Structure 1
Amino acid sequence: MRSWRTSATSTSAHANKEAQFYAREGDKVRCSLCPHSCLIADGKRGLCGVREHRAGELFAMTYGLASSIHPDPIEKKPFYHFMPGSTSISFGSIGCNLFCAHCQNFSISRAKIGEMNLTEITPDDVVEYARSSGARSVSWTYNEPTIWHEFTTVASKAAHDAGLKATYVTNGFIQEEPLRQLRGLIDAMNIDVKAFTESFYKKICGGALAPVLKASELAVELGIHVELTYLMIPDHNDKQEEIDNFCSWVANSLNTHVPIHFSAFHPDYKLTSVPRTSEAALTTAYERARKAGIEFVYLGNIWAGDKDDTHCPKCGTKVIQREGFSVRSTNLNGAKCGKCGGELNLIL
């Protein structure tokens, strides 16, 4: 089996991959990959830090460069309704198009080219890593995968050709055209909805909420399996009204069968003075989501008991039991409830 991390390599061979989704505007180029729509002067990079303008062309600096490669339980992403109990080979690079003050992966999301060891990989390498680890899918995660677009799309195609699935763990901050290009390439997305107010996105993340909602709605429309994560940060995004508004949007603009993962915050990066999320706050969010009609609600980063299990929304039967990342399927008939035949929005 291959080592999951190799020594530092030169970025020169991969830094010359021309980016997609940009146009010239005078002596600058306008990137149209994410909603920042950066106007980039010659020799400069966009806000993500990994797309560079050189003499009228935009280049994807991290094409084929990985910071992290590791096999994970698919539940760790988290995906609870996509290939439960399977292994996914996870890849991350560097950079991000948001600037979250609470980022738990800031060592790679804020890293710059040349600052850390990166491993050169090809699409064929991605498939080989998956096969050697026994993975059934490839996950683009750890940092923001949408800014790695040129590589993840080509490598996901190679994964599909090899009989594997491909997933994104993403902030959903992407424009419509590149998102549409993911149809048929990315099978599942866990979209991290950071909060449900524009003020939080502007102040804490340096972004905007509206494009994330639009991208989530489009992903569902495109037939991509979508699960949502909402990290509850005390006194920042955990007010009951905000949680209710989030749940109402899921029910009315997505679907009541889209799984929601409410996760506990732990102090990190620039928000070390904020306390951990209480179990009571998470339980309240769980109950309000269920009251709003959301069929599959889960709690993360705490011991959740049966709130980590999947129950049939039609008859209430427990169909999947979880303990940590250990999964035991019970009362399933294919992807449906074995007792009543109820739909579970489950991809096995």
Structure 2
Amino acid sequence: MEANRVKQIHSFGQSIWLDFIARSIINSGELKQLIDVDGIRGVTSNPAIFEKAITSSSDYDDDIRELSEKSEDNEEIFFGLAISDIQKATDLFKGVYEESNGEDGYVSLEVSPFLALDTEKTASQAADLWKKVDRKNVMIKIPGTKPGLEAIRRSIAKGININVTLLFGLPRYEEVTEAYISGLEDHLAAGHSIGHISSVASFFLSRIDVMVDPMLDEKGAPELKGEVAIASAKKAYEIYKRVFSGPRWEKLAAQGAKPQRLLWASTSSKNPAFKDTKYVEALIGPETVDTVPLETVEAFRDHGIAENTLETGLAEATAVLDKLKSVGINIDEITQKLEDEGIDKFNKPFEKLLQAIEDQKAKVK
């Protein structure tokens, strides 16, 4: 029997996490099967994923009724629903967490996207959600916005596992690694151990190409289509290897610190002209995570090619970004625009989700 293609990815040092959560896949045993059969090693969630889960089934109705008797605040009701799902999922991944010595087995829960530009409220809600979920293998998602950097540092300094989301640009990614390392140093300086703290930096991919590719035709560089995001990711991995080495990092590593792994997010192909497993196949390599939607897991299981690709073509990746600059496309401006739009793209489903809860409250009462 042919080895499972998704599981093969792990032999190259990369962990596949599922970019989806719903009560139905937890209760039906589907999530457990993905762990056992495909070797899925974690889960990420976001407001859009929860909006889809809550509005597309009646699985949450009883809890909405119960929670709405205690609170009229729809955001509070949402987090009540989400925390319950996150706890069940973290319990399913407990074996992965223990077997990997805390490297994998994480389930991510995001702070309210409305707080993306508010350092104080983000840090406060991250601490609150961490306490309420009360599981060692939860990660709290904080957006890697400028105000998010200090919230990330403070959260790491409190010993909270953080998934930094909404990363597009290389300069911002480097700032995120600094926030993580500084947070570890703060925690250590306060007299705490740091070996239990885990973090990932989620680098969004296909959205970069969705924005850049139409510009490439206008600039006479169509050969770069579908290549800019992958080139950026390969350059991010070079930064990762540089930052998590050398005297400063080695001092923390000697105390048991784990490097903040790069996580490839937004890895489904948005362009039908591209292979549906394109972004997964292009970035398989050690000490990384790829968070993959269910349909992409199924596509890779069927016809994906697992090979060590992350550190191949580095010269070509540099050339792609150089060519981009030479034709007059400013990648830093584009990634900032993507970050701004990304906040909006998470706010809208969250607003829709809160309205759906309002509607469900009326229905179940």
Higher strand share: 1
Higher helix share: 2
TM-score, normalised via structure 1 length: 0.38
| Structure of greater relative contact order (alpha carbons < 8 Å, 6+ residues apart) | 2
